[in-house]
Amino acid sequence: DGGITQSPKYLFRKEGQNVTLSCEQNLNHDAMYWYRQDPGQGLRLIYYSQIVNDFQKGDIAEGYSVSREKKESFPLTVTSAQKNPTAFYLCASSIGPRTGGYTFGSGTRLTVV
Amino acid sequence: AQKVTQAQTEISVVEKEDVTLDCVYETRDTTYYLFWYKQPPSGELVFLIRRNSFDEQNEISGRYSWNFQKSTSSFNFTITASQVVDSAVYFCALSNIKAAGNKLTFGGGTRVLVKP
């Protein structure tokens, strides 16, 4: 079945460490997105990519980095510069601009210990 | 810039009561999509509906119904005869059809608690 796989489901990080969240899709979608969700709040866009080897900052990109070397993969690195990384991270994909269709992964819950 | 506001942070009802979730949006674009998603405790987002800005017809799907009014920039969601399984966080979202990136802007979410 086609879909988005995020791993791991739970992740613990020590302060000052970088950590990478995985997002893989087998839907052949061109566009991919990373959202952050804090408790009791909505989702905010971190980064998005419309095509391989290209990505743009979203609303809260500071302290994060991404890469898009393959169409299927859009990993997110939470760097030590991110001052408050504890959150729930959701990855999504869409066929492309103006399609209005999105598929979401099941999320990764990151906790800084 | 675009914005989605869900003024109700939490709604608590008793099973079989109806519940309406409000969603107000702001956008300068004339062509856009509106969405509702359900987020159960497991965390994934479950797609409920997508509405094109050109289609103002209300929609009903089982116990769910949606009222789209462009005049008031609202896209409200009603659950009729609520059930315990409806307990979740519900998000309203907006994407501008012609904007680069096809990005979704979410409201803050409304937590619905249905008590037996």
Q: What is the pLDDT of residues B36-54, one digit of tens each?
A: 999 998 888 999 999 989 8
The shortest CB-CB distance from B102 to any of A43, A44, A99 is to A99
Q: How far is CA A68 from CA A35, B71, B81, B85, in A?
A: 16, 41, 45, 38
Q: Rounded distance, CA B109 to CA B112, Å?
A: 10
Of the pLDDT bands very low, low, confident and very high (cuts 50, 70, 90), residue A1 is: low
pLDDT at B92 over 90: yes
| Closest chain A residue by Cα to residue B108 | A42
Residue B31: helix, strand or coil by DSSP?
Answer: coil
Cross-chain residue pair B108–A42, CB shorter than 8 Å = yes
- B97 CB near a chain A CB, below 8 Å? yes
Task: Say if CB B44 and CB B37 are below 8 A apart.
Answer: no
Residue A63 sits at φ, ψ, to 5 deg, of: 90, 5
| Closest chain A residue by Cα to residue B104 | A45
Cα dihedral: A109, A112, B4, B7 (round 10): 100
Q: How far is CA A11 from CA A42, A90, A113, B3, B113, in A?
A: 21, 13, 10, 31, 28
The pLDDT of residue A113 is 86
**12-31 in B: which are within 8 Å (CB) of A?**
none
Shortest Cα–Cα distance, B17 to chain A (Å): 24
Q: Rounded distance, CA A77 to CA A2, Å?
A: 24
Cross-chain residue pair A107–B95, CB shorter than 8 Å = no
pLDDT at A100 over 70: no
pLDDT tens for residues A25-72?
Answer: 999 999 999 999 998 788 999 999 999 999 999 999 999 999 999 999
Shortest Cα–Cα distance, A52 to chain B (Å): 13
The pLDDT of residue B108 is 94
How many CB contacts within 8 angstroms connect chain A with chain B?
67
Q: Rounded distance, CA B2 to CA B24, Å?
A: 11
